[in-house]
Homo-oligomer: A and B are copies of this chain.
């Protein structure tokens, strides 16, 4: 493994350095060739670093930033006043080649906008898209995009998302000839929004894409497809709905039977069983797959949940590490030209 440097927006997210710094230390402990640039308020970062292992600390550098983009700021305004902010500096480090990827839990709209501005889209890509990898019931993985990089999408954007998803599924997840589906409100051709029907017509005629048709919301986790494509609004709502239901189940499971007096053997068996159930469902826990990859740019940007805790933010760092090692942007760029329909 070769040396790898990532830039972290240490101030982003609901908890800032309280979460990003311990997660960064954990990542350094796990990957001996990893170097991290922590961008943000040096005082706040240093406080969180007080008890850090000096050996790991040596592979970490603080990059000072004078401001933080508020998570509830309007994206356009935030971008206009982004100079000197932790998020912008982290992205600039990627642009300048000082870091190979950037991770932020900050304002999604600002991150998308700034990333597009600074790292620019790949040729053939109008708008980047947020993608995540979900575990499915077939023990496989399903890529879902867009998760909210764009509020709405026309058919050309949906086709580009499909191509990018297919490339990542094939090149990174090693799924040969990955199945690609469009998320819709019915499986019949006549269903849904015009943009989706138009995208379907284009995808059906693209020989390089294994397009399998429409799928509905209930197929998000069934593994019927390898890539599921939708517009950013729908993707965001769908993913959050799924996460809400999974969290509710996991918390019900955890609290089940607590505080009740019962026979020792029932208590013991209950604990054993709950452990097994938690293991069986645990892979669906949103913390396990936190981190959405912004696809379609000349660089790697990972968006973490704003509310991510240490374990989840670590998962986002790991995703950045993998995306860089597997050269996601380069592989997309290389395949894009061959796959995308020529615009003439």
Contact = CB atoms under 8 A, between A and B. Distances in A.
Interface stretch (A86-94, A264-272, A288-296, A314-322): A264-272
A183 B237 contact: yes
A185 B218 contact: no
Contact of A188 (B72, B148, B253, B257): B72
A219 interface: yes
B240 A237 contact: no
A172 B207 CA distance: 54
A240 B183 CA distance: 11
Interface string A242-269: 1111111100110011000000011011
B277 A269 contact: no
A238 B241 contact: yes
B192 A217 contact: no
A158 to B, nearest CB: 14
A185 B151 CA distance: 9
Contacts of A243: 217-218
Interface in A199-220: 216-220
B190 A74 contact: yes
A193 interface: yes
A239 B216 CA distance: 10
Contact of A233 (B151, B193, B249, B268): B193
Given A188-B72, A256-B276, A257-B273, A221 B237 contact: no
A80 interface: no
A80 B195 CA distance: 25
A11 interface: no
Interface size class of A (residues with CB under 8 A): 35 or more
A32 interface: no
Interface string A123-137: 000000000000001
Contact of A220 (B222, B233, B244, B269): B244
A269 to B, nearest CB: 3
A219 B222 CA distance: 23
A234 B184 CA distance: 9
Interface of A: 72, 74-75, 108, 137, 148, 151-152, 183, 185-186, 188, 190, 192-193, 216-222, 230, 232-234, 236-249, 252-253, 256-257, 265-266, 268-270, 272-274, 276-277, 280-281
Which 8 pairs, one residue from A and one from B, show the smallest C-beta to C-beta distance? A269-B269, A217-B240, A218-B244, A217-B241, A217-B237, A185-B236, A218-B240, A245-B245
